Structure 1
Amino acid sequence: MDQSEDLTAFWPVTTPNSAQGSSSDPAHLLSLKIEYLTWPDRVRELDRMFWSDANQRLSHEEITAVINRQALPAEGALAVDAYARQVKQVLTGAFVQLNEPQTVGTVWQAFTWLLLDRERERLPALAWLRAADPLVLRDHLAMLPGYAFLILAAMPTDSVEAFLARDAFWDAMLGATREISSESDPTAD
């Protein structure tokens, strides 16, 4: 599969269980695309997909409201919720198929697993992130506007992670980013 192919066009509103592992299942396609990538490369690809999908599915007003933590009309709130649920469903499905060890080893892995709908990965990710230096986390998340936006959309309450994501999103949009690389994360695969 060509790495430049955009899988967001294949993400359905729900992932049917009967399609697990099929060539048309977006979770299966995503798992194939990221399986052999290093964590920095996975995160780069996922970040692009998260941000691209948000821009395709949500209005400018909805995106702005999520970032600024403003209330949305019912229709906008439902659109944001549907976006976050669908992306997390596909992401979770992909990692279920990859069946990787649940030990968190990198900041990239921790941010990814934070977004999964399975406690098996999400709880170790939360513990890892809460034990890490918030400034280091913000620096890493500032390179990932798609991740920062998805964290904000998926966590409507003002958690530590949501505050970090909002600040990192603005850093990313204002150009305070650097290239994702293994050198910037000494624990990267």
Structure 2
Amino acid sequence: MQEYLNARGHDVVELERGSLATRIWRDVKRKRVRIPDLCCTKCGVRIESRAKTSADLSMSHSPTDAERAWNYGMLDADWIAFPILSADERAWSAGALDARRSLWRERTLTSWRLMGHVNLFSVSAFRGVAPKQLKAKGVTEGSEVQVRWRARFAPGSGKVTAVSHNRLDYTIDQ
């Protein structure tokens, strides 16, 4: 996200520690007060980034803890970014043998690459539409729920040809 927005004239810095890392949290991550992940030092816009592996507008939300709500502390002018990423994985291993024992280590190294463009929305756009609440996550994931907003994503690159109140016409590039 930082690289993507900086290439478009922003100067993005990390607000929440670890926001620029590509680590996937497999264990319990200590839940803190929700703050935006990133901030632009030039224009002041704050960005909450929700990386996805498929086109999906969803976020974690706590219906019982106001400080863990999806929009806690967010201003209408703040942005929510949904970059769609693809994982490139490769195996790594190293080992040594001697007469009595062996030492072997294996890892899967994952690098993430952006698929297409980042989907950016204002917080006010999300507040204007009620999300659907999905089932609760497990206790190890903070017992929060997922909320999802209805969306349709174009199957390929193209051009918007018309916009009306209930309809958007789109032509796919040939």
Quickly name the TM-score band, shorter chain normalised: under 0.3
Structure (1 or 2) with the greater helix fraction: 1
TM-score (norm 1): 0.25
TM-score (norm 2): 0.26
Structure ID, larger Rg: 2
Higher relative contact order at CA 8 Å, sep ≥6: structure 1 or structure 2? 1
